[in-house]
Structure 1
Amino acid sequence: MTTGKLNGKTVVITGAAQGIGKAYADRLAQEGAQVVLVDLKAEPLAAAVEDLRSKGHQAEGKVLDVSNEQDVKRVGQELGQAFPRIHGLINNAAVFSTIQLKPFWEIDSAEWDKVMAVNVKGPWMLVGALLPYLRAAEAASVVNIGSDAVWMGKDGYMHYVASKAAVYGMTHAMARELGGDNIRVNTLSPGFTETNVPRATFTQEQLNGIMKSQSLKRIADTDDIVGVASFLISDESRWITGQTLHTTGGLLFR
């Protein structure tokens, strides 16, 4: 059921063809937003858009490699022509589920560069490309997706951990520089969240350790996360910027 909390808002979500990105798009559409799903994979993206439209939601799709500068500029211009005011952006696209766990000294430079290009450079470039349209909205909200793997210092994928650590710093700097435009920038920082996307980034041993460290003794799913994203995009969070909201079930590092 549409609540109308986001009526009249246009929100762009990257990495939205599946998993938690698709769940963000679904929730925001339920709240009344016009959602633009962005993803590298054309076929799953088309299916995700069609699924939302079949539910009566306003949804568009754009194929985009967020690590490609020219692609980002092109899609940014196309989005600006279609939606002169963009009220929200969720930078969710990331290299994560396909990472093979290995010690940091075995990560080659090409893999390191790819993770950094998608997870750090991509959000930076996309905010820049959409900035005129975020400014035109007069009260826009950018949500960068972090990861509490940073605070855990999880072993086996140091390039991912380092990339998400950079996201926190980027959020703080963006919030400071864009505050004069009434553009808010925050980080949503999930812990382990179960989705329909297969992943090699967690072993059963790691999951057992997370469960022991969480205050709430269950594995999160996307329904536990998407309401926070909706809150950060909505006017209900209009006095929150430069902050990190941890959606981890009370993960305590011990």
Structure 2
Amino acid sequence: MERVQGKVAIITGGASGIGLATAQTLAKEGAKVVIADFNQKGAEAAAQEIVNQGGEAIGVFLDASKLESIKETVDKTVETYGTINILFNNVGLTNLKKDLDVVNLDLEEWDHLVNVNLRSVLAGCKYAIPHMVKAGGGAIINTASMAGFASDIIRTAYGTTKAAVVHLTKYVATQYGKQNIRCNGVAPGLILTPAAKNNLSPELLDTFMKYNALPYHGEPEDIANTVLFLASDESKFITGQTIQVEGGHYLANPTVPDFVAMSKNQ
């Protein structure tokens, strides 16, 4: 307990899923939490639940596609709590209907995903880092994705923006490490957020399970605990890294188990 006691943390996209689990986890460990989300009512409800449990939190509106909204979130945090120690850049979008292969993807959707998935991360860092410097340092954690490490037949824009987040993380770590600011990333695989549970069929989940090294799917708390580690002093000598939290899904050549199964059936 109290691994981030007294720290002030911004969690973008914090009203649900991974962001919500992380906000709750950081609050339980002593952080003062700012939950920023396009769903303002959801953010405020999440913050109130933390307060009801004895923590400190506020919910604020955030439109990650607009620079002024990101700056307002940072300003509101400093106005309320005096500083920023932890920034979890967690907002991200994907669109399976428009973000297709290179020839067929919607170029406006490409621009939209670059704006929300990448520029918002850059802007969050840009506006938060000066306050972290004044505070003597801080920890930034960016949500990447396994799509940033492994290509696919669709989601070209999503994967490309997440790969860029991985590299931007290294740039921030390099440029501000001497000012005691660490920047790391977390790359989730399939995580059973409420949205995933509601939209993925049992057959699709079984397909994912088939290729996992571990016999279970990830939960939002798995990412939240990784973020907590990266935000705490337990990781004080780790920077510029992106931790892949994906159950070993991408470890092995996926064709080999199928070949073995085929040979047994012959």
TM-score normalised by L of structure 2 = 0.87
Deviates further, 209-218 or 87-96: 209-218
Deviation at 1:39, TM superposition (A): 0.5
Q: Which residue of 2 aligns with 1:8?
A: 6
Deviation at 1:128, TM superposition (A): 0.7
Q: Which residue of 1 aligns with 2:154?
A: 156
Q: Secondary structure at the match of 1:32?
A: coil
Give the partner amino acid of 1:242: G
TM alignment of 1:166-205, pairs within 5 A: 166-198=164-196
Deviates further, 78-87 or 212-221: 78-87
Q: Secondary structure at the match of 1:174?
A: helix
* Percent identity over paired residues: 31
TM alignment of 1:5-154, pairs within 5 A: 5-96=3-94, 99-100=96-97, 102-154=100-152
CA contact (8 A) 2:77 2:83 kept: no
Gaps of 5+ in 1: none
Deviation at 1:201, TM superposition (A): 8.3
TM-score normalised by L of structure 1 = 0.91
Q: Secondary structure at the match of 1:152?
A: coil
Q: Secondary structure at the match of 1:226?
A: helix
Deviation at 1:49, TM superposition (A): 1.3
Paired residue for 1:215, among 191, 213, 238?
A: 213
Aligned length: 251
CA contact (8 A) 2:147 2:163 kept: no
CA contact (8 A) 1:10 1:83 kept: yes
Q: Which residue of 1 aligns with 2:227?
A: 229
* RMSD of aligned Cα (Å): 2.0
CA contact (8 A) 2:36 2:73 kept: no
Residues 21-77 of structure 1: per-residue CA shift (max 9 Å, x gap): 000000010111111101111121122112212212111111111221122223322
Deviates further, 142-151 or 230-239: 142-151
CA contact (8 A) 2:148 2:164 kept: no
Deviation at 1:152, TM superposition (A): 2.7
Deviation at 1:15, TM superposition (A): 0.2
Deviates further, 51-60 or 192-201: 192-201
Deviation at 1:202, TM superposition (A): 6.1
Deviation at 1:143, TM superposition (A): 0.3
